[in-house]
Structure 1
Amino acid sequence: MQKFTPILVLCLIGFGFSNLSEKKYIQKDLPIDVRVENLLSQMTLEEKVAQMRMFHSGLGVGLNKRDSLAFSKGVKERLNYGIAGIKSPGDRYSPERAAELNNQLQEFVIKNNRLGIPAFFVTESYSGVDAHGCTQFGRPISLSSSWNTKLVKEVYDIIGREARYRGLHLTHSPEADIARDPRFGRMSETFGEDTHLVSEMIVSAVSGLQGDSLGLESTHIGAVTKHFAGYAQVSGGKNFASVEISPRTLIDEILPPFKAAVVEANTLGIMASHGDINGIASHANPELLTNILRNDWGFKGYVVSDANDVGRLHYFMKVAETPEDAVRLALVAGVDIDLYADDAYALLPKMVETEPALLEYIDQAVRRVLRTKFVLGLFDNPYTDVQKAKEMTRNDAAKALAKKADEESIILLKNENTLLPLNRNKKRTIALVGPVIDSKTKAAFEKIAGTDIDFIEEKGFNLTNGDGVTPILTPKSETLKGIQQIVDKAKQSDVIVLFVGDDKYTSKEAYFSGGLGDRDNIDPVGQQDDLLLALKKIGKPVIVALKHRRTLSINIIAAHADAVLDCWELSEFGDEAIAKILFGDVTPSGKLPVTVPRNIGQMPIHYSQKEINFKKSYLFSESTPLYAFGYGLSYTTFKYSNLQLSETKGNTTSTIKVSVEIKNTGTRSGKEVVQLYIKDIAGSVVRPMKELKGFKKIELEPGESQKISFAITPEMLKLTGLDMKQTVEPGQFEVQIGGASNDVLISSFNIEK
């Protein structure tokens, strides 16, 4: 490992011991606020603005063949005055080589700016650290399907550690957005449709990444929760489109996960949303970024723009007439760091010449950035251990956790005639087929199944041409040829496991220039339904393993498959988990984090809509969802009984306890998610049908019973009333507890003045 001189020693040598009192910011024992103010007082305007900018390492940061730091000319110039941060340095390197790069990069940054200010290095983490060699976990919506907050925290704890081993300090994750429109290509980056479920998952993710904030100085990274706010509510499900949210919906449903990230989990950063809220661009919204986030919630961290979005206030959203107007709007609103752009905060030194009043806002932004760097321990411990990066990344414990998370996330949607689990001791041949089968699927199944099962496989066709910018669907003629290949192979089997759904090209982020990722319908793409129907004609049982990144309207699959496993997008070991469930090594326990519609015309369909939305159906079709929020089968059965309230009357400050007994009435041990819903019977404003307010995941042996209790607090009963203030209104409430949103026991209580 290369040795690096601590920044304290460097500063002592450079400044001289006699100036130590003037350099309080290098004194580790002083309070962070004192260190920040001391450093800020010594910075020039150019040095301050440098701490408000971030660029991507793809501009030219790497190691040469001798493993020495190598820059493009443009990168070196960007570091003349220091820098707030650099995105994704070393993301294509092995963990140890990335650590080597980041140590050298940090040393260069420190030595080549006048005050020795370190940079933070930033990643993303949609399914683990977004870098080569790190453990790849399931996507957030898959993890949310586990309904296991402890497990999710453990996953993000590993992500936080693996990132820090590489020499990274922050991640532009997790997403606290509520996903209710499956046309939106980024749905899988979220934790689902429900405010409470997403809030609980966000607290777990942020706490895990940050090591409960205790690990920020050395072992973990800071979370930058995004996209503040309402991003996934884009019109038409199209990225960059407008967002139409009523003020009441914003307060009651959209903001709570972000508030939980700030108030409960102490997220270190917040990323503003691409979008607008009722016409006000989020990057230029002081009510959102200052009044709500900082003044109401007490947020002490920093706000970063989404990519290039400060400049886009001018040339895209057109709420600023000039680039300078865009800079002014974002700065005053509360955006502290400009991500990537050269046409936004880079203009500030020139602007200050004629607008000295901007200095106050610049200083406030820089304070927040510097504070973040002190909280991360970068002034005192700026480097990472290269050997530890090699030894600790993607280790056995991390891989075991990824497998455990997969096993708890898979949802059993259908199991006709109790086809599953399969008997591994019965000699038979199983066909593994379909367009989203993985190259390692057969090996994973062979590892789990044992010696009595033979496997044959056939992919048949790809869904698209694999273009990562704008993919093109595989021509129908080629797909039909592939379907025939699959059918011919499947005829040689006794059981068929069909892998269908999405791939990474058919559901993804739509980029600003060129790239598409959103869709105008949610049926399985191509001829996947035809493939299933062709396989059913063979007369063999067909088990569907549904791999996808967005909710799909799987009517044909639900009607004709003998069994359906909803897998979303699992970890790198996901096929092992699928095999374990198919052969009964694991009893499925996942539950849907979204409502599954029958078709796109049912949208919106989330279970917690206003009650009046459920009054009428459509002509010639059913209005009910295909599968309800919270739904998921098991290989055992659970009976709910004896729902009891501690009292049936309370006041607006009362806490009422509710309990229920759950018994495993089957023959196998299993895990069940006990879900608590509250329905406000009548309010001063139109109320939702019901709202999830609590859940607990339990494990029961056959015949075992357990009493589960919840506390119904005033916070659970609040609504935003006619005066736009949150309050608990007197009246009648229903309490509903069960294993899915549509399968509950019901009781009621009254709240009096």
Structure 2
Amino acid sequence: MRRSHPGGHGGRLALAASLALFGMAPAAIAQSGQPAITSRAVPVITVEGRRFRDLNRNGTLDRYEDWRLTPAERAADLVARMTLDEKAGQMVVAEAPNNAPFGQPATGYAMDVVTGLVKGGHVTSFNSRLVLDAGALAKVHNDLQAAMEQGRLGIPAVMTTDPRHHFQTTAGASVAAGSFSQWPESLGLAAIGDPALVKRFGDTVRREFRATGFVQLLGPQIDLATEPRWARINGTFGEDAALSGRLAAAYVVGLQGGADGIGGDGVAAVVKHFAGYGAAKDGWDAHNRYGRMGDLGNDRLGLHLRPFADAFKVRPAGVMPAYTMQRGLIVDGKPVEEVGAAYSRVLMSDLLRGKMRFDGVVLSDWAITEDCGTICMNGFPAGQRPTFDGISTAWGVERLTKPQRFALAIGNGVDQFGGVMDPSPIVTAVKSGLLGEAAIDRAVTRILAQSFALGIFEHPFVDADAAVRNVGTAADRAAARDAQARAMVVLEARRPLALPAGTRVFLRNVDAAAARAAGFTVVDRAQDADVAIVRTAAPFETLHPNYTFGSMQHEGSLAYPDNHPDVAAVRALPAKLPVVVDVYLDRPAILTPFKDRATVLLGNFGATDAALFDVLSGKVTPVGRLPFELPSSMAAVVAQRSDTPADSAAPLYPLHYRAPIPTQK
């Protein structure tokens, strides 16, 4: 006889029937036979000649343990067995704590803290910022999964991460590549503009993440980058809505392992940020209170929704709402509330869940339910180094209590909350009557169906030795380096790009070893050189150093100040010396100081010195086109609309620009 189980049943059968997003993977498993089973402390039982993990250790095969059923069926059964506290634990993605203080190198996770989160809060989803080599990362993820086996129901961990395959590293937005292959930023993939390449990139991320134990990516970021001053342009596909949509869909297909939802060896895609985050008023970012207001007009809403509409066609697992508050926005005749998107019924329930019919997991961005105190309101005191203490992004709902915030967002259709270490306010919201348990069941069923589709209930552990072999392979690193070089945009070319072997080069901000490896002769004085090669980056200002994200992000002017050291260095070069200037464009820089002086002017979106020399030696021909326009002045930037693509007056280089390359004589 099956024992009775605590937990409510409200709405679970109707939801299970609607979860087509997660309904196909088990059928494929059943047709192909026994899936891989990995287990440590959890017993493995045999039923009808097939092996299953006895997750709750009761000696019988329960429906949620049966991989022959659909994810929706398994999720409905598991939800029926759960207490309210256990359900609430599913609805948060906690930060996996490192075993070293913030900002210092760590060797693993603080497992005592992890165990406390699992046992005390029933938490099973963790976001990782840990940077280790592939084998070590696989081992610590196995240790964490072993801790999960001790839970009453044996629910495995969902290991989540921000993007790790690029160049820029900003806490809360991206993580250092480490052992993973290092590709150009998403802007660089947009510069190439090839969906097949983006699909291949997504597949590479999938393979490398699954090898080390990651099963969910907080990405791709598919905001339309219409405000050139915005600090987060780097993670987008630029400001062409149609191109962004095509590339977003290709990325999701590669990452999830197919165009019909998550495959059993896929990585769940959480497309972000819904919607209009890129229309940032004055360029400020909504991580910060001073940047909480968006600037999205009703006539531009459809444009900013385009990438999401295209991505939804290939069924991404999740969506992350934007932090931004929009003022005066109207959707289908309904005014959008002046709150962060997760708290807007018009955006979440009516538009996302209703009109756009998204039925996957809605995962909030980080800290939206936290209280906004003095630090959140005003930043850290002068002279004090900002940390993540006191962070909140509860824009528009600051006066609500935590249970009220959770209840409002869940009622709108949000399923899961990022960066939450204590799920008890969700329990309080139900027990105090702010929220019905049926809404909790709907959310948890979606979350668990996703986990079942990922195959981690059968196979939570990874092979650390295989991770060493399969992450950052020579083939993947070569493909990544080729993409770095091909993504470069030729802005000026007054001579052929390829330099003859043995050319004497004077270098600034370039590794001499990379130049020598490419066959060039490095000289110490510009007067002795045939060509000067200068690498630099788009300018920025740090205008809010007392705010956590303001202290890290690139804000403010896109124009180089007169005293910029690289500008001064170029001006000081001998007048007749040819100069190659290569600029890292994390934002649309105003390149006036280099336009006329540079013999060759290149824009890159994340490229090693070796990739640059692949271009300058003629090994690789760059094919990139600008994924955003490059303005001619800050006056033009200030005058343009934050929600409109490519609308600055008289841009120095227009959207999709690429200069012709002279042929070698």
Q: Into which bin does the TM-score normalised by the smaller protein fall?
A: 0.7 to 0.9
Which residue number corresponds to residue 191 of structure 1? Answer: 237
Instruction: Indicate the structure with greater strand content.
Output: 1
Change (3 A) 1:153 1:509: farther
Which residue number corresponds to residue 29 of structure 2? Answer: none
**Cα separation, 1, equivalents of 2:211 and 2:117:** 26
**Cα separation, 1, equivalents of 2:650 and 2:439:** 52
Which residue number corresponds to residue 594 of structure 2? Answer: 557
Which residue number corresponds to residue 123 of structure 1? Answer: 161
Matched, 1:244 2:322: no
Q: Which runs of 5+ in 1 are unaligned?
A: 458-488, 615-622, 637-665, 669-753
Q: Give the 3-state SS of the residue equivalent to 1:106 in structure 2.
A: helix
Q: Which runs of 5+ in 2 are unaligned?
A: 1-37, 46-51, 167-174, 328-337, 374-391
Which residue number corresponds to residue 414 of structure 1? Answer: 492
CA contact (8 A) 2:97 2:109 kept: no
Change (3 A) 1:598 1:363: same
CA contact (8 A) 2:325 2:396 kept: no
Change (3 A) 1:138 1:514: closer
Matched, 1:331 2:405: no
Alignment of 1:508-527 (within 5 A): 512=548, 515-524=551-560, 526-527=564-565
Q: 1:544 aligns with which of 581, 589, 597?
A: 581
Which residue number corresponds to residue 644 of structure 1? Answer: none
Q: Give the 3-state SS of the residue equivalent to 2:657 in structure 1.
A: coil
**Cα separation, 1, equivalents of 2:214 and 2:274:** 23
Change (3 A) 1:243 1:68: closer
Q: 2:315 aligns with which of 266, 269, 274?
A: 266
Cα RMSD, aligned residues only: 3.2
CA contact (8 A) 2:192 2:487 kept: yes
Matched, 1:281 2:340: yes
Q: Give the 3-state SS of the residue equivalent to 1:391 in structure 2.
A: helix
Q: CA deviation at 1:454?
A: 0.9
Which residue number corresponds to residue 423 of structure 1? Answer: 500
In structure 2, give the amino acid aligned to 1:588.
P
Q: CA deviation at 1:413?
A: 0.7
Cα displacement string for residues 265-306 of structure 1 (whole angstroms, at most 9, x for unaligned residues): 221111111112222320101222233222333323211111
**Cα separation, 2, equivalents of 1:508 and 1:220:** 39
Q: CA deviation at 1:506?
A: 7.4
In the comparison of the two structures, how many residue pairs are matched?
572
Change (3 A) 1:7 1:329: farther
In structure 2, give the amino acid aligned to 1:76.
T
Q: Give the 3-state SS of the residue equivalent to 1:58 in structure 2.
A: coil
Matched, 1:104 2:183: no
Which residue number corresponds to residue 88 of structure 2? Answer: 49
Cα displacement string for residues 531-578 of structure 1 (whole angstroms, at most 9, x for unaligned residues): 2221153x21111111231111011211221111111222xxx32222
Which residue number corresponds to residue 322 of structure 1? Answer: 400
In structure 1, give the amino acid aligned to 2:280.
V
Q: Identity over the aligned pairs, expressed in percent? A: 24
Q: Give the 3-state SS of the residue equivalent to 2:192 in structure 1.
A: coil
Q: Give the 3-state SS of the residue equivalent to 2:514 in structure 1.
A: helix
**Cα separation, 1, equivalents of 2:221 and 2:545:** 13
Change (3 A) 1:15 1:545: closer
**Cα separation, 2, equivalents of 1:357 and 1:58:** 30
Q: CA deviation at 1:632?
A: 0.6
**Cα separation, 2, equivalents of 1:583 and 1:508:** 42
- Which one has the largest radius of gyration? 1
Change (3 A) 1:115 1:50: same
Of the two structures, which has the highest relative contact order with CA contacts closer than 8 Å and spacing of 6 or more?
2
Q: Give the 3-state SS of the residue equivalent to 2:131 in structure 1.
A: coil
Which residue number corresponds to residue 724 of structure 1? Answer: none
**Cα separation, 2, equivalents of 1:297 and 1:73:** 42
**Cα separation, 2, equivalents of 1:357 and 1:174:** 31
CA contact (8 A) 2:126 2:159 kept: yes
Q: CA deviation at 1:411?
A: 0.9
Q: Give the 3-state SS of the residue equivalent to 1:496 in structure 2.
A: strand
Q: Give the 3-state SS of the residue equivalent to 1:305 in structure 2.
A: strand
**Cα separation, 1, equivalents of 2:185 and 2:555:** 20
Matched, 1:114 2:156: no
In structure 2, give the amino acid aligned to 1:151.
L
Cα displacement string for residues 220-261 of structure 1 (whole angstroms, at most 9, x for unaligned residues): 31111111111121111111221021223112x101111222
CA contact (8 A) 1:191 1:201 kept: yes
Cα displacement string for residues 506-529 of structure 1 (whole angstroms, at most 9, x for unaligned residues): 799996466242422101352432
Q: CA deviation at 1:33?
A: 1.6
TM-score by length of 1: 0.70
Which residue number corresponds to residue 459 of structure 2? Answer: 381
In structure 2, give the amino acid aligned to 1:429.
R
Which residue number corresponds to residue 529 of structure 1? Answer: 567
Q: CA deviation at 1:218?
A: 4.6
Which residue number corresponds to residue 629 of structure 1? Answer: 655
Matched, 1:255 2:333: no
Alignment of 1:170-181 (within 5 A): 170-181=216-227
Change (3 A) 1:608 1:76: closer
Cα displacement string for residues 161-208 of structure 1 (whole angstroms, at most 9, x for unaligned residues): 111100110011110111122322221111111101111121122112
Cα displacement string for residues 626-648 of structure 1 (whole angstroms, at most 9, x for unaligned residues): 01111112436xxxxxxxxxxxx
CA contact (8 A) 1:84 1:119 kept: yes
CA contact (8 A) 1:270 1:304 kept: yes
CA contact (8 A) 1:7 1:380 kept: no
In structure 1, give the amino acid aligned to 2:521.
D
Which residue number corresponds to residue 662 of structure 1? Answer: none
Change (3 A) 1:346 1:5: closer
Which residue number corresponds to residue 442 of structure 1? Answer: 512
Matched, 1:58 2:111: no
Q: Give the 3-state SS of the residue equivalent to 2:278 in structure 1.
A: helix
Matched, 1:83 2:123: yes
CA contact (8 A) 1:126 1:189 kept: no
In structure 2, give the amino acid aligned to 1:590.
G
Q: 2:54 aligns with which of 12, 15, 18?
A: 12
Change (3 A) 1:512 1:302: farther
**Cα separation, 1, equivalents of 2:261 and 2:535:** 40
Q: Give the 3-state SS of the residue equivalent to 1:309 in structure 2.
A: coil
**Cα separation, 2, equivalents of 1:391 and 1:297:** 42
